[in-house]
Chain A
Amino acid sequence: MASSASKRLFKEYKGLSSDAPEGITAGPVTEDDMFLWEALIQGPEGTPFEGGVFPAELKFPKDYPLAPPSMRFLVDVWHPNVYPNGQVCISILHPPGDDPNHYEQASERWSPIQSVEKILISVMSMLAEPNDESPANVEAAKMWREKRADYEKVVRDNVRKSLGL
């Protein structure tokens, strides 16, 4: 089980290295452990996240790709769908069974035909378009809804801070 999981992860690593999508860099922290990755995602243009680079760690379960990885940002990301501890809450990271609220389509959720690349692209578009239905960070969601200018300012300040300016 674990060996087929690491084989698959290695294949995805190779694919992402030779043909990386724009604004995404991802790979295992060390090849000794294929189950812990670190990814860098560029803030999408035309959003307050523009210009920022956001590192995140991806933890894969031993039965990957049957179960999805978990993803956590390693810098402060002020976003309705990111928990204050950095954990990303997005439908593609949820297994099809785990949906008590029934607002997610089964097709949006995790399945073995998804991939790390698709997760990272989904997270990138999530940064641009928050999903207001299930806020992971209630404060950020409220600010996003009611005081958009303040929200964008917090995001921009975080971007500057994360780049050491």
Chain B
Amino acid sequence: MAEQTLNIPQLLVFIIVSILAIRWYLAKPAPAGTRPAGANRAVRINPAHIDQISNMFPQLNRRDIAWDLQRNGGNVANTTERVLRGGGLDAPPPSFNAPAPRPTLTSRTATPVAKPSQPDLITRYNLSSKLATKSETATPEEQPKQKAWSQDRTERQANLQRRREEMILAARRKLEEKEKAKNSGTSA
């Protein structure tokens, strides 16, 4: 009898101890497991690597590439091989944030600083001579309208050229008139 009553607290102690032991055992690998994951997260994916792969396989989503690089620790060769083996890359979970800065964006915005100012259209299309003559002639609408498409290659080219020039000259004339009207309006 005494042995039996003694057994129950013993059993309880044993159960509590074993629960604690199991919990301790289960909890132990968890931090050990999260630590490498945390280290993984700290792997900064180089946007240049994403670009590199993206250039090789333009069909791939940049986010998928970033996710794959993230998982293999930024190994470009590994990801490339994975793509080449067939199948695509796994889609990242929605919570995954691909590295935001797109270096193409910054380089694009950075380059034009040195860019010289564009020449105006009159210079660009060599229209200064036509500027004077055209404004003296009657309205261009009166000229017979040539058909826009021709079987002859050079004629086609000439037609396109002419339509371009007309478009620019018409815009220039219109703006000139507007300017003149505005000036006379202010002086009057």
Contact = CB atoms under 8 A, between A and B. Distances in A.
Contact of A31 (B62, B122, B156, B171): B156
B82 interface: no
A67 to B, nearest CB: 8
Nearest to B147: A18
A98 B62 contact: yes
Contacts of A160: 175
B38 interface: no
Interface stretch (A83-91, A113-121, A142-150): A83-91
B59 A97 contact: yes
At the interface, is chain B mostly helix, strand, loop or mixed? Answer: helix
Nearest to A156: B175
A31 B175 contact: no
Contacts of B117: 76
Nearest to B123: A164
Nearest to B108: A83
30 contacts: A17-B148, A17-B156, A17-B159, A20-B148, A25-B167, A27-B160, A31-B153, A42-B167, A42-B171, A51-B174, A53-B121, A55-B124, A67-B58, A75-B118, A83-B108, A86-B112, A97-B58, A98-B58, A98-B61, A98-B62, A100-B61, A159-B175, A160-B175, A163-B122, A163-B171, A164-B120, A164-B121, A164-B123, A164-B131, A165-B179
Interface of A: 14, 17-18, 20, 25, 27, 30-31, 38, 40, 42, 51-53, 55, 67, 74-76, 83-87, 95, 97-100, 136-138, 159-165
Interface of B: 54, 58-63, 98, 102, 108-109, 111-113, 115, 117-118, 120-124, 128, 131, 147-149, 153, 156-157, 159-160, 163-164, 167-168, 171-172, 174-176, 178-179
